[in-house]
Amino acid sequence: MANQGFFHRMMTLAALPLTWGALVSGCAVPPPDDIQTEDEESVVDSESEVGSGTVEQATNSSCSTASIKPLSQQIIDEMRCMKPDMVVELPSRPNLVLTDAVFPYVVKPARDAMVGALDAKPNTKMTVNSMLRTVTQQYMVRRWYEQGRCGIAAAAIPGNSNHETGLAIDISENSTWRSALETRGFKWFGNGDKPHFDYKGSGAQSQKGLDVEAFQRLWNRNNPNDKISEDGTWGPQTRQRVQKAPAKGFALGASCNEAVDPQDPQDPQDPAAECSDFSNSEFSCSPDGNSRGLCDAGQVDLQACSNGCLIQSGNDVCMGTTSSWSCNGSVGTTKMENGNYVGTSFGCSIAEDGSEFSDPGDNCIPACLSTLKAQGICSSSMTGKACEKSITWFSADKNRFGCASKIRVTNPDNGRAAVLMVIDAGPACWVEDEAGTGVLDMSYRATEYLFGESLGVVDNEKVHVVEVSADTPLGPVQ
């Protein structure tokens, strides 16, 4: 629970530097969200025999993603059919060594940056342990992490690793190559995951969800009587099919003749409104929360909301500039009509450098734990604390927004914004009484990103909150 309140928060602030100091030398766990994760790439992507059964059987009987290599290759081929420019192959170089079972694909500008670095230091060896990873491989790594197997310290939820989007590489000689890569747009992850670099240079557009959608298309092509939605979103339906998929690959492989849905809401080039996003009887908020729409005879009547859209029990409205506030009972249940709250920090999350934020005043067990497990956001075997840390970009206020919903939180002073998942209850009404307005309790990771520090209610820092659709990626909004 997150609703310890005002006094707890002041104590937390006082205790924080000590907590951090203690953690610096501790076992660093890299963040399991937008960036990637495990230290044991060489174990993970090393060569081993291909399984004859399902992905689930391969997961339980090996510690190598190579055991499902033919299936992964089909997914990559399908991704390249869907977006031919998205994943390009890294050409061979005399000083480049790819370990077995690496899929040598990255986005085009990252490929150019790597080639530039390799050619700038032709006498220095670069050993690449991991590049592109498919959703099925990420599923395996995540399961090993959840099971405490195969030496995986942390792993992103499938669909959420930068290795799945062609933006991440892992290099053995990371310190040797750091400056050559960083001057070309790569960012070293840090001590929490030393081999890992993320491409953040120009053209670093994430193709998040593309591997998930490629798998969904392959599944549907081979299972016409058990079709699932091709939405690029990882959820219980897709997870179930990934578990059942054949390690040796489907009978029908990739096809470049099937059209990619031009209205795909996952496609960043096409944010156009779709009628299926809206009701045809009353206005509802758009998936990004920036407008409201009504589906009228197959056409969307879309109205921009300059201050964000407010989801109500019916007929959603654009947020205004004023708000009444009341908190009766134990916790606030009414949304602020202007979307403005006072921000506070709580809970257990992973810092950017891979260390952990702890919270002596909180048990770090999400009040939404059963919902998170039912939706496959956390596995059924995870402890509450492990679940909370694996999400890291989270907030409380479930009684306003609902468990597992997502909100985009903006610091209006610097424009920084992050998408958080609502996982906990609170804050208590008496905390909001202190603030005299609604309070949004957020993970330390979130307030660090938004404000550069942790927040108590006494800091009186304002945040603006807009609800967004469940398939919005967590973490910083670029």
CB of 97 to Zn ion, least distance (A): 17
Judged by CB under 5 A, which stretch of 35-43, 207-215, 397-405, 444-452 contacts Zn ion? 35-43
Residue 323 backbone phi and psi in degrees, to 5: -155, 140
Cβ proximity to Zn ion, 34 vs 264, nearer residue: 34
Structure tokens at 122: 């032709």
C-beta nearest to Zn ion: residue: 196
Cβ proximity to Zn ion, 143 vs 196, nearer residue: 196
Q: Which residues of 380-391 are buried (b: 16+ CB within 10 A; e: fewer)?
A: eebebbbbbbbb
For residues 306 and 177, give the distance between their C-alpha atoms in angstroms, rounded to a whole number. Answer: 45
CB of 136 to Zn ion, least distance (A): 17
Pairing between β-strand 96-98 and β-strand 126-130 as defined by DSSP bridges: parallel
| 298-357 residues near Zn ion, rule: CB under 5 A | none
Site size with Zn ion, rule: CB under 5 A = 3
For residues 377 and 447, give the distance between their C-alpha atoms in angstroms, rounded to a whole number. Answer: 22
| 42-101 residues near Zn ion, rule: CB under 5 A | none
CB of 170 to Zn ion, least distance (A): 4
Answer whether 68's CB lies under 8 Å from 249's CB.
no
**Residue 160 found at the interface with Zn ion (CB under 5 A):** no
Cβ proximity to Zn ion, 41 vs 467, nearer residue: 41
Going from the C-alpha of 91 to that of each of 96, 105, 115, 270, 350, the distances in angstroms are 9, 9, 8, 31, 36
For residues 70 and 137, give the distance between their C-alpha atoms in angstroms, rounded to a whole number. Answer: 11
**Residue 8 found at the interface with Zn ion (CB under 5 A):** no
**Residue 36 found at the interface with Zn ion (CB under 5 A):** yes
Cβ proximity to Zn ion, 162 vs 291, nearer residue: 162
Answer whether 440's CB lies under 8 Å from 433's CB.
no
Cβ proximity to Zn ion, 36 vs 134, nearer residue: 36
For residues 197 and 199, give the distance between their C-alpha atoms in angstroms, rounded to a whole number. Answer: 7
Q: How far apart are the first and last CA of the chain?
A: 30
CB of 415 to Zn ion, least distance (A): 29
CB of 183 to Zn ion, least distance (A): 20
The residue count of the chain comes to 478
Cβ proximity to Zn ion, 191 vs 303, nearer residue: 191
Judged by CB under 5 A, which stretch of 33-41, 348-356, 366-374, 450-458 contacts Zn ion? 33-41
Cβ proximity to Zn ion, 289 vs 473, nearer residue: 473
Cβ proximity to Zn ion, 114 vs 218, nearer residue: 114
Cβ proximity to Zn ion, 104 vs 246, nearer residue: 104
Q: Which SS3 state, helix, strand or coil, does residue 234 take?
A: coil
Residues 187-226: x where in contact with Zn ion by CB under 5 A, - otherwise, as a string = ---------x------------------------------
Judged by CB under 5 A, which stretch of 23-31, 45-53, 99-107, 162-170 contacts Zn ion? 162-170
For residues 431 and 444, give the distance between their C-alpha atoms in angstroms, rounded to a whole number. Answer: 18
Place of tokens 């549907």: 220
For Zn ion, which residue of 164, 170, 264, 397 counts as binding (CB under 5 A)? 170
**Quick one: CA torsion of 432, 435, 438, 443, rounded to 10 degrees?**
-90
Judged by CB under 5 A, which stretch of 52-60, 168-176, 219-227, 354-362 contacts Zn ion? 168-176
Residue 23 backbone phi and psi in degrees, to 5: -85, -20
Interface residues with Zn ion (CB under 5 A)?
36, 170, 196
